[in-house]
Structure 1
Amino acid sequence: MTFSISARCTRTGMFGIAVSSSSPAVAARCAHARAGVGVVATQNITDPMLGPRGLDLLAQGVPAAEVLEKLRATSDFFDYRQVVILGRDGPAAGHSGTKTLGTHAIAFGADVAAAGNLLASKDVPTAMVAAFEAMPDAGLGDRLVAAMQAAVAAGGEEGPVHSVGMLLVDTVGWPVADLRIDWSDGDVMAEFAALWALWVPQMDAYVTRALDPSTAPAYGVPGDE
């Protein structure tokens, strides 16, 4: 039902995660990120509690592989879960339980991991990582969007995807991007790319407005003259 990509940018310290599914509002359940800490993807038969628990452990300096083992040891029904964990340092860790649905796979790269279940092909996560790694000088959001598009081009899920979302965290205490298409019967990945293209030129301005409105650019809305 789901494919996702979790990544960090060593240039900026930013973390990001993008996820798509045939089910509605996938990012509300599956995508977890915390500034300066890392990202957790929890999918398949999803347990959203694994996200904050994993991030808390990463924040304590626990390596991703050890975080995964701690979650495995303390969670019920872990065989139903597919989980990817990526922290500040070291490689990502991933788990696909024995009850993961359909064709499933996890692929790892430098500062990135992609995972999916009910896939058209085990090659989908590998294609996502390759697309991400092919753009080393691009912004993290651009790289994640390209990876999601590559997933669809490689076959994506067995059925059509209807929802997609992306979280980006930087140095402030909230996501600098929290973009979601919770349901669409159209080309959801094209809609997602268009939403990102709309958001990215404004992203820094919204951070400035929160931190110091006196230095922020004009709001650009009717009546703001």
Structure 2
Amino acid sequence: MTYSIVGYDPEEKEWGIAVQSKFLGVGSVVPFAKAGVGAVATQSYANTTYGPQALQLMEEGKTAEEALDIITKDDPERHLRQVGLIDAWGHAATFTGEGCYDWAGGVTGKHFAAQGNILVDENTVKAMAETFESTAGSLAERLLHALDAGQDAGGDSRGMQSAALLVVKEKGGYGGFNDRYVDLRVDDHASPIKELKRIYLMHQLYFKESDPGRVVLLEGEVRDDLEKELKRHGYADGSKSLHQALKDYLHTENFEMREQEENYIDLDVLDYMKKQGRYVR
């Protein structure tokens, strides 16, 4: 009752998984990944030991196909399992046991493996594969678009409930202290993929570095708009400078990654302020 795609970006050296299921908190079960090593999606009566075992094998130098053969070989319920892997070089492998509920199957291509079970039909997996191959953008964006296309093509025959996105990159996590570049979950929602895409956009706003082309001097209409928004959000009361009021807003809203030198602002932050309701402190 799950469909997923694992992928690799050779330019950015990122590995990731996107998954959706008629299952509570699918992100706590299916995705496993390690920067420089690979990614694993284990589903259909998921054997969650597949994730760490496969990553360990691939870290030791095994290919995705070799790791897949080893982890499934001695599993007495391998006929019920489904798993997709991508290794350090971007080689992909997918496995669907003969006991998985129809429709069940998977496909591999350049730098990805897509698979699903209890699907309406094979078009979900085909749509994920075709979309991943034809979509530009970051690995996270390609995975999300592929997942969305899979749902549009039919998806899980039992419906939707949860979705998750995990992308790893060396020192890509918060503060550069781990490799969890993107780690987002929607555990229970009527439209989990749409919600996951919304949260991903928020993640990019909060944690992606500012686009230099969107950083402008605080003057004219931009300054007027900022003063109005800071007042509307409760940060400008005449007792502090515009710079201090903006700094207070940025730090309260966790926009430290978007903070600029004095007298400059990231327009993405200003656009966000305009879309939000009044902040009550």
State the TM-score, normalizing by the size of structure 2: 0.71
Q: CA separation of 1:200/1:98 partners in 2, compared to 1, >3 Å: closer, same or farther?
A: same
In the TM superposition, what whole-angstrom CA distance separates every residue of 1:72-119 from its partner, at most 9, and x where no partner exists? 223331111101111012531111111112211202121011100000
> Which residue is 1:164 aligned to?
163
User: In structure 1, the residue corresponding to 2:16 is in which secondary structure?
Assistant: strand
> Which residue is 2:181 aligned to?
176
Matching residue's letter, 1:177: V
User: In structure 2, the residue corresponding to 1:132 is in which secondary structure?
Assistant: helix
User: In structure 2, the residue corresponding to 1:176 is in which secondary structure?
Assistant: strand
**Structure 2 stretches of 5 or more lacking a match?**
172-177, 210-246, 257-281
Would you say the 8 A contact 1:168–1:178 is kept in 2? yes
Matching residue's letter, 1:179: L
Q: What fraction of aligned residue pairs are identical, expressed as a percent?
A: 29
Q: What does 1:201-216 correspond to in 2, within 5 Å?
A: 201-204=205-208
> Which residue is 2:191 aligned to?
187
Q: CA separation of 1:223/1:174 partners in 2, compared to 1, >3 Å: closer, same or farther?
A: closer
User: In structure 2, the residue corresponding to 1:221 is in which secondary structure?
Assistant: helix
Q: CA deviation at 1:135?
A: 1.7
Would you say the 8 A contact 1:116–1:125 is kept in 2? yes
**Structure 1 stretches of 5 or more lacking a match?**
206-216
> Which residue is 1:99 aligned to?
99
Matching residue's letter, 2:184: L
Q: CA separation of 1:219/1:31 partners in 2, compared to 1, >3 Å: closer, same or farther?
A: farther
Q: What does 1:29-40 correspond to in 2, within 5 Å?
A: 29-40=29-40
> Which residue is 2:147 aligned to?
148
In the TM superposition, what whole-angstrom CA distance separates every residue of 1:49-93 from its partner, at most 9, and x where no partner exists? 110000000101101111111112233311111011110125311
Does residue 1:139 correspond to 2:169, yes or no? no
Q: CA deviation at 1:174?
A: 3.0
State the TM-score, normalizing by the size of structure 1: 0.88
Would you say the 8 A contact 1:177–1:203 is kept in 2? no
Would you say the 8 A contact 1:176–1:203 is kept in 2? no
Q: CA separation of 1:189/1:90 partners in 2, compared to 1, >3 Å: closer, same or farther?
A: closer
Structure 1 runs (4+) greater than 4 angstroms displaced? none
Measure, in 2, the Cα distance between the counterparts of 1:129 and 1:203: 29
Measure, in 2, the Cα distance between the counterparts of 1:203 and 1:112: 26
User: In structure 1, the residue corresponding to 2:165 is in which secondary structure?
Assistant: strand
Q: CA deviation at 1:202?
A: 2.7
> Which residue is 2:201 aligned to?
197
Q: CA deviation at 1:219?
A: 8.8
> Which residue is 1:58 aligned to?
58
Measure, in 2, the Cα distance between the counterparts of 1:218 and 1:53: 46
> Which residue is 1:221 aligned to?
251
Q: CA separation of 1:191/1:90 partners in 2, compared to 1, >3 Å: closer, same or farther?
A: closer
> Which residue is 2:228 aligned to?
none
Measure, in 2, the Cα distance between the counterparts of 1:130 and 1:69: 26
> Which residue is 1:208 aligned to?
none
In the TM superposition, what whole-angstrom CA distance separates every residue of 1:36-58 from its partner, at most 9, and x where no partner exists? 11001100111111100000001
Matching residue's letter, 2:161: H
Question: Based on CA coordinates, which of the two structures has the bigger radius of gyration?
Answer: 2
Q: CA deviation at 1:204?
A: 4.0
Matching residue's letter, 1:108: T
User: In structure 1, the residue corresponding to 2:29 is in which secondary structure?
Assistant: helix
Does residue 1:17 correspond to 2:22, yes or no? no
Measure, in 2, the Cα distance between the counterparts of 1:63 and 1:19: 22
Q: Which moved more, 1:70-79 or 1:30-39?
A: 70-79
